[in-house]
Amino acid sequence: MTQALVHQSEGTPLTILASSEFNAWQQKQTTVVQNWLNAISFEGKGVLLVPNFTDGKLEQAVFFTQSTESLWACGDLASQLPDGTYLLTNDKDTSKLIATSFALGCYDFAPYKQSKTQSVKLAIADKTVFDEVVTYVKGVSIVRDLVNMPAGDMMPQHMAEFMSDMADEFSGTFSQIIGDELLEQNYPTIHAVGRASANKPRLLDLRWGDENAPKVTLVGKGVCFDSGGLDLKPASGMRLMKKDMGGAAHVLGLAHMIMAFKLPVNLRVMIPAVENAVSDNALRPGDVIKTRKGITVEIDNTDAEGRLVLCDALAEAVNDKPDTLIDFATLTGACRIALGTELPGFFSDDKALVSGLEAAAEDVQDPVWHLPLYQDYKDLLSSSVADMTNCASGPFGGAITAALYLQEFVDDSISWVHFDVMAWNLRKLPGRPVGGEAFGVRAVLKYLQDKYQ
């Protein structure tokens, strides 16, 4: 997507205007242009390619949209313009929205296709605007690319390589705990979920920033493929399970933006990376696991594995006493039933965090929705043989009970938020193709910028 943007002051002038501004714009044009507009009956909607009436070459492009303040107004613009480089002429603030929308609309997951050159490019003269937009777009691109990658090429070891490279890029540090080492270092639930796979389970750990700065910890569910385990999913439910590491993709895209923007925080990123596979040593329904925190968990369903890998990572994360703890996960279908696939739900009892996130989401047009940690539902996780089960036996309130499970592993004193996201676009929208997608990442970044900058 970033290939769609160039930093230069040359190109065919491109102006984005609201349709309500068409009459005022038309009156400023030459008589020749005004007569031509009347002749073609242009009414101020969509793309207008204005030729030089001397040599016939393209002189300027104008795109009239319903609102220039909508992030996605220019999401399909690149596909409506002829090949070439277009110099954006709008003001600084509007240019950020336009350029972000334009670039996100140019996204194409192409590693397995014959490469093609980006034929339509947007030139941005302001270096500050260019750098900021490229950083945003790169972060979203990371999320989309990682989610879209076939599972065979995005197993725990591949994710470790990506995370290690990111740490090197920003002079951070990276470490990992692999396979049976997880048992030796007391991460039993991560090991239990991933032990049946030939791709060894891992806990990936990236650290960056000033050790004396406020601590921000990100935890992402990294189930690189989810068969459901012995509670095997049907074929239809398994088809998109390469995206079950979407939480990990989200925190990596977010971490990239935090580090690129040099946010003054002490950042830690933790990803429990596993494949939920089936083998003779697979986790069984009815098994009991003692978690890192010491809580025993009876396995009601092996397909409720995401919360198992997350709970050990969260238990470790709170040991640092972070100022802010954020986890992302493609955790429940129940959240999709409640909110649909395009609106991520989040859970937190920290009122300041909730209001800050909601304000940030509105500011950057990255909608999120606050859901309740309804404590009366904790009884649905009760077990007769262990401290709790890994999921409720019934279908109701599944997103809430999953969040309540995770809350058991987070100290009350920690400012914590849990995101339950789809990580996938089921339909094509302007700037948002079908496939992997980042939900809530820009909202969280804005919240962190407002809190720590």
pLDDT in tens, 106-116: 999 999 998 77
Angle between helices 306-317 and 398-407 (to 10 degrees): 30
Lowest mean pLDDT among 92-96, 143-147, 340-344: 92-96
Instruction: Tell whether the model's pLDDT for residue 117 goes beyond 90.
Output: no
Tokens of 194: 């991933």
- C-alpha–C-alpha distance, residues 229 and 84, integer Å: 50
Query: Residues 139, 352, 347, 193: what is their CA dihedral angle, to the nearest 10 degrees?
Result: 60
Q: What is the pLDDT of residues 55-84, one digit of tens each?
A: 999 999 999 999 999 999 999 999 999 999
Question: pLDDT tens digits, residue range 213-226?
Answer: 999 999 999 999 99
Q: What letter represents residue 48's amino acid?
A: L
Give the domains, in start order, of the chain with CATH numbers. Answer: 2-125 (3.40.220.10), 138-452 (3.40.630.10)
Residue 210 is encoded by which pair of tokens?
Answer: 């000033």
Give the model confidence (pLDDT) of 250-285 as tens digits.
999 999 999 999 999 999 999 999 999 999 999 999
- For the chain, percent of residues with pLDDT exceeding 70: 100
Q: How confident is the model at residue 212 (pLDDT cuts 50, 70, 90)?
A: very high
- Cα–Cα distance measured from residue 408 to residue 388, given in angstroms and rounded to the nearest whole number: 10
pLDDT at position 1 is 62
Query: Is residue 336 classed as helix, strand or coil in its secondary structure?
Result: helix
Residue 233 annotated to the active site:
yes
Backbone angles phi, psi at 150, to 5 degrees: -55, 145
Give residue 119's identity as a one-letter amino acid code.
Answer: S
- Predicted local distance difference test score (pLDDT) of residue 2: 72
pTM for the whole thing? 0.97
Distance of CA 120 to the CA centre of its chain: 26
Answer whether 98's CB lies under 8 Å from 109's CB.
no
Going along 202-359, which residue ranges are E strands? Answer: 202-208, 215-220, 222-226, 266-276, 288-290, 296-298, 324-329, 345-347
Look at the alpha carbons of 88, 90, 96, 98 in this order and tell me if their dihedral is positive or negative. Answer: negative
pLDDT tens digits for 83-92? 999 999 999 9
Span 400-415, average pLDDT: 98
The yes-or-no answer on residue 243 being catalytic is no
Catalytic residue among 144, 200, 307, 446: 307
Active-site residue, from 138, 207, 233, 378? 233
pLDDT reported for residue 435: 98
432 secondary structure, DSSP code: B
pLDDT for the residue numbered 170: 98
With the CA atoms of 422, 423, 429 and 433 taken in that order, what torsion angle do they form, in degrees rounded to the nearest 10?
Answer: -140
Do residues 438 and 140 lie in contact, with contact meaning Cβ atoms separated by under 8 Å? yes
Considering only CA atoms, which of 70, 71, 68, 60 is closest in space to residue 18? 68
3-state secondary structure of 1: coil
To the nearest whole number, what is the mean pLDDT of the chain?
97
Segment 286-312, tens digit of pLDDT? 999 999 999 999 999 999 999 999 999
Strands 324-329 and 345-347 turn out to be unpaired
What is the tens place of the pLDDT at every residue in 3-58? 899 999 999 999 999 999 999 999 999 999 999 999 999 999 999 999 999 999 99
Strand partners for 61: 14, 49
| pLDDT of the residue at 116 | 74
Pairing verdict, β 12-18 and 222-226: unpaired
At 162-197, the pLDDT tens digits run 999 999 999 999 999 999 999 999 999 999 999 999
The answer to whether the CB of 329 falls within 8 A of the CB of 271 is no
Query: How high is the pLDDT of residue 115?
Result: 73
Q: List, as one string, the DSSP characters of 360-393.
A: HHHHHT---EEE---GGGGGGG--SSSSEESS-S
